[in-house]
């Protein structure tokens, strides 16, 4: 390798330092590479310096180790060499959005009587892009579902996700014909785990019983989102709650249906009132750097946070459904470990 | 009264960038009207009339308030038009192919005149691109670029196999591409895109002695490619590293999804930016996507500029928020009176 050149990480490969090791988050290829913290320090402190300069900063005592590190980065296509590092600026990860809210969860059970007309109209006025409806009912008919969603038809909402219980002979075709914006359908309590690709919208069957909002908030590597949108969200605010407003089964407006703070009831206030409620907005901006343990974790900008289920229900505590310990780099639930 | 202040010409399908720009305009509380080419096909009722002040466009299914009045429009964006294939589908369906051809080309010209009248009448000082310069002539671009001392690849247009052979002998490898912007063909409904492709000595030998005049260039050995979104003197550039992957070395639009090219922010050296700025002025374009190559020998080589390039492919990976920048340009028209 030519030591007069700089070995530069591609600027969408971001090193993140943890307590015991670091991760290079490859935001373009949706993957991460674990690296030792010593390499992190070189990459972070000496970005742009050429190899010769870096080696001499270590008094040329570690030339072989540095060569080996850089070879690893190049072989894995995480870095390239250049004589003009100043022409490759870092990505500015600022986050902004034309929408007043980003997404919303609506929970429905047997006793819910949500004013869907009002909800969808207000979501539309806020520029909401995606809505998830979670049916914690024993049964749901296709006509009920079509009717609930009807007010979404002439709105700016682009994506609708549905979680619903299995019901034999359910006419998916009829549903998708009535509502083209459904882009995800999860069917729980199904007879088997499988994905049905027959329609434009994939249908996920799971045997699991997702019968309440308690099933949310599990953090594990298979669920990591390693892309620029998620990464900048996580730097700026909360990777689950930023711009989220939800309605729980009883009609109360919350960040998500499981977070403790209620902004008011959907029959009494509007979602437009709720988005200016400071106590609710506060959760949008809690990022991982403020959360105990997570702030020392190399995965903090690629895992999805949860503020509803946290250790001892503390506002700034680690999600209780994550089994990772960044201090020992171990998963207490071994099946979470991506390297097993 | 309607008060549309921003007017956008686009098409209804596959316009991801337009949709996001519109969301940003919406967030800035500015009334806008989007006209898609398909709004003018034979399934819509509309009329264009003139009064002393100009041309008024009105759609029958909308209420009277939604007519588009040129006096209210403060800025326009000519993105695309689209939606003209209704002519092929609905007219000239006789048994005589030659007659069909004449009918359609007459109707195309008429429809083009309507389109021109509409876009001309809404022209205002604050316009991103114009209908009249959205079909780039790559030969003119290269000539002007070269006059401005930008590096360009050695280029010929030839109809002669002999000349092509002589040209190709000077270089390790040559490429061919379409002379003007080419949307693609469809053969039995299977779409074919025309990508830049290398042209081998076997290819040359398989040509007849004379052929339809075609465009050839030396193939530049590249360190990486550059795509730059240009808006009113500012450059938002991205380096595209494709070399490590055989499938994309000639034209990066041949995506390889397993191992996507590396697309990262880049800063074009100031001297090159100045020349490119002069080029855009000379081409009378205030917005466009510029393609360059950073050659292995260190030169920056200009390839072409596309006035209507999809800038989402630069905006997203570099987090430039180009959609907001475009929206701001358009919305700012309302503050100028
Ligand atoms: S905060 Fe937790 S429970 Fe609420 S939506 Fe996010 S992951 Fe689920
Ligand atoms: S410890 Fe925190 S940051 Fe690390 S994976 Fe678990 S939830 Fe994410």
A308 close to ligand 1 (CB < 6 Angstrom): yes
Calpha distance B178→B163 (Å, rounded): 19
Name the pairing type of β-strands B234-241 and B262-266.
antiparallel
- For B224, the token pair is 């990486």
CA of B268, closest CA in chain A: separation in Å?
7
When pLDDT is cut at 50, 70 and 90, the band that residue B84 belongs to is confident
What is the model's pLDDT at position B35?
86
Atom of ligand 2 nearest to the CA of A305: 7
Residue of A88, A92, A228 lying closest to B239 (CB–CB):
A88
Calpha distance B105→B94 (Å, rounded): 14
More confident residue, B291 or B194: B291
Residue B290 burial (CB < 10 Å; 0-12/13-18/19+)?
Answer: buried
If residue A230 lies in a helix (H) or strand (E), which one and from where to where?
helix A228-236
Query: Among A19-33, A200-214, B91-105, where is mean pLDDT lowest?
Result: B91-105
When pLDDT is cut at 50, 70 and 90, the band that residue B62 belongs to is low
What is the model's pLDDT at position B294?
97
Which whole number is the average pLDDT over B180-191?
71
If residue B161 lies in a helix (H) or strand (E), which one and from where to where?
helix B161-169
What is the model's pLDDT at position B63?
58
> If you measure from the C-alpha of residue A331 to the centroid of ligand 2, how many angstroms do you get, rounded to a whole number?
10
What is the model's pLDDT at position B11?
77
Residue of A11, A93, A232 lying closest to B264 (CB–CB):
A11
Residue A88 and residue B316: Cβ atoms within 8 Å? Answer: no
Residue B241 and residue A91: Cβ atoms within 8 Å? Answer: no
Calpha distance B294→B300 (Å, rounded): 5
pLDDT at B87 over 60: yes
Residue A127 and residue B324: Cβ atoms within 8 Å? Answer: no
When pLDDT is cut at 50, 70 and 90, the band that residue B337 belongs to is very low
Nearest to B265 by CA among B304, B321, B219: B321
A219 close to ligand 1 (CB < 6 Angstrom): no
**Whole-number percent of chain B with pLDDT over 90:** 44
Residue A10 and residue B262: Cβ atoms within 8 Å? Answer: yes
Which whole number is the average pLDDT over A247-269?
96
Nearest to A280 by CA among A96, A100, A115: A100
pLDDT at B152 over 50: yes
Which whole number is the average pLDDT over B276-281?
97
Nearest to A255 by CA among A235, A231, A282, A294: A282
- Is residue A30 a contact partner of residue A338, using CB atoms and an 8 Å limit? no
When pLDDT is cut at 50, 70 and 90, the band that residue B78 belongs to is confident
What is the CB-side half-sphere exposure of residue B264 using CA atoms within 13 A?
Answer: 24
Ligand closest to CA A288: 2
Ligand closest to CA A217: 1
Mean pLDDT computed over every residue of chain A = 95
């Amino acid at each position: 390798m030519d030591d007069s050149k700089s070995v530069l990480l591609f600027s969408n490969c971001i090193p993140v330092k943890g307590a015991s090791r670091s991760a290079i988050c490859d935001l373009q290829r949706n993957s991460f590479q674990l690296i030792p913290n010593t390499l992190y320090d070189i990459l972070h402190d000496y970005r742009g310096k050429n190899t010769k300069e870096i080696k001499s900063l270590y008094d040329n005592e570690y030339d072989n180790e540095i060569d080996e590190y850089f070879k690893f980065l190049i072989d894995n296509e995480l870095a390239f060499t250049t004589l003009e590092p100043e022409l490759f600026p870092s990505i500015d990860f600022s986050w902004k959005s034309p929408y007043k809210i980003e997404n919303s969860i609506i929970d429905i059970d047997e006793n819910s009587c949500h004013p869907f007309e009002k909800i969808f109209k207000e979501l539309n006025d806020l520029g909401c892009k995606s809505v998830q409806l979670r049916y914690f009912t024993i049964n749901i008919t296709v006509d009920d579902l079509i009717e609930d969603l009807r007010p979404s038809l002439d709105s700016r909402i682009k994506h609708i996700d549905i979680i619903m219980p299995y019901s034999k002979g359910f006419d998916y075709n009829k549903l998708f014909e009535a509502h083209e914006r459904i882009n995800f359908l999860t069917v729980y309590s199904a007879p088997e785990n499988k994905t049905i690709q027959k329609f434009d919208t994939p249908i996920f069957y799971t045997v699991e019983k997702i019968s309440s909002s308690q099933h949310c908030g599990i953090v594990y590597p298979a669920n990591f989102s390693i892309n620029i949108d998620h990464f900048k969200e996580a730097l700026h605010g909360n990777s689950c709650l930023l711009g989220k407003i939800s309605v729980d089964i009883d009609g109360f407006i919350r960040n998500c249906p499981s977070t403790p703070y209620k902004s008011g009831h959907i029959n009494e206030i509007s979602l437009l009132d709720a988005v200016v409620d400071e106590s609710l907005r506060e959760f949008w901006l809690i990022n991982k750097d403020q959360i105990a343990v997570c702030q020392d974790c190399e995965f903090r900008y690629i895992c999805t946070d949860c503020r509803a289920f946290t250790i001892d229900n503390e506002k700034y505590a680690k999600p209780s459904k994550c089994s990772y310990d960044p201090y020992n780099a171990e998963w207490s639930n071994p099946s979470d470990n991506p390297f097993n | 009264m309607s008060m549309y202040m921003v007017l956008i010409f686009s098409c209804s399908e596959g316009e991801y960038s337009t949709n996001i720009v519109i969301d940003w305009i919406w967030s800035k509380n500015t009334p806008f009207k989007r006209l898609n080419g398909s709004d003018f096909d034979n399934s819509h009722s509309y009329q264009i009339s003139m009064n002393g002040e100009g041309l008024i466009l009105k759609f029958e299914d909308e209420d009277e308030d939604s007519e588009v009045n040129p006096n209210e429009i403060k800025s326009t964006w000519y993105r695309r038009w689209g939606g003209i294939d209704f002519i092929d589908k609905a007219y000239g369906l006789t048994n005589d192919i030659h007659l069909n051809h004449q009918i359609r080309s007459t109707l195309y010209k008429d429809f083009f005149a309507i389109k021109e009248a509409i876009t001309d009448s809404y022209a205002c000082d604050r316009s991103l691109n114009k209908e009249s310069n959205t079909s780039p002539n790559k030969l003119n671009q290269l000539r002007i670029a070269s006059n401005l001392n930008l590096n360009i690849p050695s280029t010929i247009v030839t109809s002669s196999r002999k000349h092509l052979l002589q040209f190709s002998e000077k270089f390790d490898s040559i490429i061919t591409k379409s002379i003007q912007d080419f949307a693609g063909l469809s053969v039995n409904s299977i779409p074919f895109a025309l990508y830049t492709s290398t042209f081998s000595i076997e290819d040359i030998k398989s040509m007849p002695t004379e052929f339809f005049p075609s465009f050839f260039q030396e193939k530049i050995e590249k360190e990486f490619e550059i795509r730059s979104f240009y808006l009113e003197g500012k450059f938002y550039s991205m380096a595209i590293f494709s070399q490590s992957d055989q499938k994309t070395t000639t034209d990066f639009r041949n995506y390889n999804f397993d191992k996507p090219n590396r697309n990262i922010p880049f800063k074009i050296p100031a001297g090159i930016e100045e020349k490119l700025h002069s080029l855009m002025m000379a081409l009378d374009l205030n917005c466009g996507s510029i393609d360059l190559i950073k050659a292995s020998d260190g030169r920056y080589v200009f390839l072409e500029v596309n006035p209507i390039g999809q800038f989402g492919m630069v905006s997203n990976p570099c987090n430039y928020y180009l959609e907001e920048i475009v929206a701001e340009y358009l919305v700012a028209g309302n503050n100028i009176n």
